[in-house]
Amino acid sequence: MKKIILTSVLLLFLYMSGFSQTLNKEILCKKWYLEKYEVMWVDYEPDEKEKNDYILLKSDMTYASVDEGTKTFGKWTFNTEENYFTMFNDKGEGIKIIINKLSINKMVLNIDIKEMDGVDVHYTTKK
């Protein structure tokens, strides 16, 4: 009997912890400033030309971003089941952004392109 109760509690805990990993759009909709890069547990500061980079995700599913001083505007979609969003520029070209960690003022993501494989990109809401 104790095994059945313990198993039930364990399964409930696993279900709830999996559920808590589901992200919602409201948490993402803010201005995120590039903080650092992480490769194999080593942190790297952004280059000088990346110091003012950011992503502004708006609740109307549009975005504005600065990447190495270049401004981009477009639309974004959000996949809540797999915790990623896709940013589309004005030409319809999209880039998949996989969210690894998200809190009120920190976000760690991976950009789904070969050149960024294994690189965790850290963003913060505080400049």
* Spans of all domains in the chain: 24-124
Q: Judge whether residue 72 has pLDDT over 80.
A: yes
| Arithmetic mean of pLDDT over the chain | 86
Q: Provide DSSP, 95-115.
A: EEEEEEEE-SSEEEEEE-SGG
Residue type (1 letter), 35:
E
Q: Judge whether residue 89 has pLDDT over 90.
A: yes
What's the confidence (pLDDT) of residue 24? 78
What's the confidence (pLDDT) of residue 17? 39
pTM, full prediction = 0.79
What's the confidence (pLDDT) of residue 77? 96
Give the residue ranges of DSSP H helices in 1-127. Answer: 2-20, 25-28
**CATH 2.40.128.280 is right for the domain spanning 24-124:** yes
What's the confidence (pLDDT) of residue 2? 44
Give the span between the Cα atoms of 98 and 84, in whole angstroms. 4
